[in-house]
Amino acid sequence: MLVIFALPVLVPLPPGLGAIPGVFIMFWALQRLMGRATPWIPLQLAAKPLSQSLINIVTTRGLPALERLEKIFGKPRSGTQPSECEQKISCLVAIGMGFLILLPTPFLNTLPAIVVMLIGFSLINQNRRLLWASNLLGIVLFALIYSGISFGRDFIIDEFEDFYLDLTQTTNG
């Protein structure tokens, strides 16, 4: 499910549409974190058919990418299956990546989607090394984007305060 929900984000989407797969990624990762093996979907949503245009995009663009990635990551290696704790950590990282996909950051939704896909492939293939690599990549990516947003916010606030002080000094003096 994580791979399927991350696929549409790899295709350039109009602004705001990345929030839909981001919510589903967070929702499914939260369900996995709580121990569900199969996804729960509300009946109203499960009854709605997928649009033909979405199916065409996924099959023409997403499936070839999926096949290439499966060739790269191959079959599971014996003795390297991730533990339940490692899978739960991956769910937390996937929730964080889903949150980053929700943010209106231009051109930055693809990177969290790639991390989610890597987590999904590592869980499918029971590949512990890939799981740890994708978790580490997700944590670093989350830290970088969070620090960039935090720094940008602080920079804007400081500039606004300086502008306001200059403005009040010129009007008072």
CB atoms within 10 A of CB 98: 27
Q: What is the pLDDT of residue 102?
A: 84
Alpha carbons within 13 A on the beta-carbon side of 53: 1
Q: What is the pLDDT of residue 4?
A: 77
For residue 46, is it within any domain? yes
Q: What is the pLDDT of residue 153?
A: 74
| Host domain of residue 110 | 2-147
For residue 26, is it within any domain? yes
For residue 166, is it within any domain? no
pLDDT along the chain (173 residues), means of 10: 78 73 87 79 72 72 69 60 86 91 78 89 82 92 84 76 73 63
Question: What is the DSSP secondary-structure string of 119-171?
Answer: HHHHHHTT-HHHHHHHHHHHHHHHHHHHHHHHHHHHHHHHHHHHHHHHHHHHH
For residue 168, is it within any domain? no
For residue 123, is it within any domain? yes
Q: What is the pLDDT of residue 95?
A: 92
Q: What is the pLDDT of residue 75?
A: 58
Q: What is the pLDDT of residue 124?
A: 80
For residue 89, is it within any domain? yes
For residue 156, is it within any domain? no
Answer left, alpha or beta for residue 59, where phi above 0 means left and psi between -120 and 50 means alpha: alpha
Number of domains in the chain: 1
For residue 157, is it within any domain? no
